[in-house]
Structure 1
């Protein structure tokens, strides 16, 4: 029995981790990516313990570390105000900071060893073609021309702004829009020693949150500034940006960042959203990652959850291929059923976090003081997320 042709929309971490697992198990895969390459800079770079063992078993994490694209043992620290460090139930949060372009390039390199893999750059999925109710093809735009891409199964991993969501008229059961985030990037090639070795989150009350960390594999500082109102206006009003941002930064970074707030500064506004599709699939097509459940930056969970989605999806899809059964609605339902409880819990936690950071600063201080007192006398057993392991792992090795 011939194996199905899988078409993956989006060469981000979810799409490429899925592609690697399928391709190394002999399943033909074609990936469609709208960008011209994999070199764009991403926001989420911290992988947590819910994902690292799986990437280790696939051989991906050791290769990233060897190439300088992963830095294990990075701690995510929480602060109330500029200096007061606070601890959450569960203790220290340790992970590995990874370069997403490095990760994607490695996965593409490994997949390219197989003749049944194809990655098409500069290819934007515009709409789905249906025969009856089943999606059987995509209309795409490549190099200014519209084309049709055929396939047996389509997996959408191109994020929360996927056109295919709207094209298919999919309903959402959750749609919240917290404050927007201004994302800033600064070149620290002349002062790499000043870059932080941790991911630091500072809460200043009334919705103001500042996160700063170094880009993995590059001497660059990333700062996320979240606040009520139009933070995008700060991109054009640099004096106002300096006035609001600089007091929130540690002394060691403040002067260096001040000298870099100019027209050469890279910035973008992230319209934060938390939403979730009512159903993650239609006949012939499955949605994963932010395309199925958009996460906010709170807690840095989006990257980790998307990769966990792809591992679960690969498990069930490869099971079906090996059993000689179609990858259809029952398979999609099992994937969604396994992933949905964790996603719902994570999004509920993000909504609680967004409500909490809108409290006045003195209230946040009181809340963490009370939490600290309680933690002295009571141990909080935070249940870990359910294990997600590749059932059909093919370990990557250098060639």
Structure 2
């Protein structure tokens, strides 16, 4: 037997975009239900870089003190290595105005727990964990809800809503069912993620990629471990796994000799998780009654660690547009101009960030894979960073805040 339920906004996906959107809508007095297919948020190797734009938003929401109490490390600069072993500091976050003068590395599950705890303080917020969306409910060409299926028993459910927001990632069930197709950009590499122990004295204040021949490695500091990304040409996974864990450990030790004494923590290639890197964005983010945001609207490369922050900005823009419209009683096709406006606002920053990522792919990763890193990093950014001090501020500002950072609407502030 199918259970029928009702809410004003159904948010599919309990990642950063979905949970922030649910919190903001609830603070605006809108009935909102977030559905998440997993039972909890405890999943490794998800985006953990919380940029200054998101930290500022949390302060505006009155959550800054709770956020700063979470286990985290901070990045103070962005650097590139030179052939002589030194490094070139491209961006100095310390040049930005405190307290937004750094990038925080925070486990995503801790951030999501904080946000859902705050959202549950609002009477109009509900979240259903372990509940999967199987597709939209469509009536007369308008999405009027979503079909749900609990993963651990219980019958199917029809969740009716005035608007459905897809925050269910780059493999979004809802966007596929609505026939929304992304424009895809070529990405020539994939990423392999793994952990290594962190010890006292390890450098944790900067992000410095390591290059050797055609290999690229980047370590993100955590409080008790390094989250490490190995980059190689797309399609390399079968060859890497066939070569075995000993060869992979040797590659890591060669790229980061300072971590060579702990590569034994990679017990087998099962500890190395491959990410199929994609870069795409929808030509159209919405359908009557349905809006896609975050990775459901634009899959981002891990370059720059911007994914969480761009998704959060989408959520803020969506809530800012939706709450006044829903308070006026708009629903169905009457919301089309509102959904269109969200896409219109968030497309320019998405295009700008993806253009920057594609440039970074060419000047860093593709150069590395072609064996052209022996001469050091590209000359122009190095020249600017060394001889034009404001450039280090500009690089830091661009990474920390990105284009068109959103502010919390007045009714969501505490």
TM range (shorter): 0.7 to 0.9
The residue number in structure 2 matching 1:254 is 260
Distance 1:193 1:391, change over 3 A: same
- Of 359-368 and 23-32, more deviation after overlay is shown by 359-368
- Which of 29, 39, 44 is the equivalent residue of 1:41? 44
RMSD: 2.8
Give the corresponding residue for 1:309.
314
Give distance in 1, aligned partners of 2:108 and 2:162. Answer: 29
Secondary structure of the 1:43 match is coil
The corresponding residue for 2:303 is 298
Instruction: State the Cα distance separating 1:74 from its structure 2 match.
Output: 4.5
Say whether 1:86 aligns with 2:88.
yes
Other-structure match for 1:23: 26
In 1, Cα distance between equivalents of 2:103 and 2:309: 11
Distance 1:102 1:89, change over 3 A: closer
Following the alignment from structure 2 to structure 1, what is the Cα–Cα distance between the partners of residues 325 and 229? 42
Query: What is the distance in 1 between the residues matched to 2:156 and 2:213?
Result: 48
| Structure 1 contact 73–94 (Cα < 8 Å) conserved | yes
CA distances 1:8-33 after superposition (whole Å, capped 9, x unpaired):
11111111111111112211111110
Distance 1:22 1:370, change over 3 A: closer
2:172 paired with 1:162: yes
* Paired residue total: 386
Match of 2:123 in 1: 115
CA distance in 2, matches of 1:278, 1:254: 45
SS in 1 for 2:350: helix
91, 116, 128: which one pairs with 2:136? 128
List runs of 5+ in structure 1 lacking aligned partners.
Answer: none
Change (3 A) 1:106 1:12: same
Inter-partner Cα distance in structure 2 for 1:90 and 1:73: 9
1:76–1:94 CA contact under 8 A, matched in 2: no
Give, in angstroms, the shift of residue 194 of structure 1: 5.3
Residue 265 of structure 1 and its aligned partner are, at CA, apart by 6.5
CA shift digits 1:142-163 (9 cap, x unpaired): 1365432221111111110112
**Is the Cα–Cα contact under 8 Å of residues 40 and 129 in structure 2 kept in the other structure?**
yes
The match for 1:179 is 189
Distance change >3 Å, CA 166–CA 199, structure 1 → 2: farther
> Normalised by the size of structure 2, how large is the TM-score?
0.84
- Quick one: distance in 2 between partners of 1:299 and 1:354? 11
- 1:243 correspondence with 2:250: yes
Offset of residue 235 of structure 1: 4.7
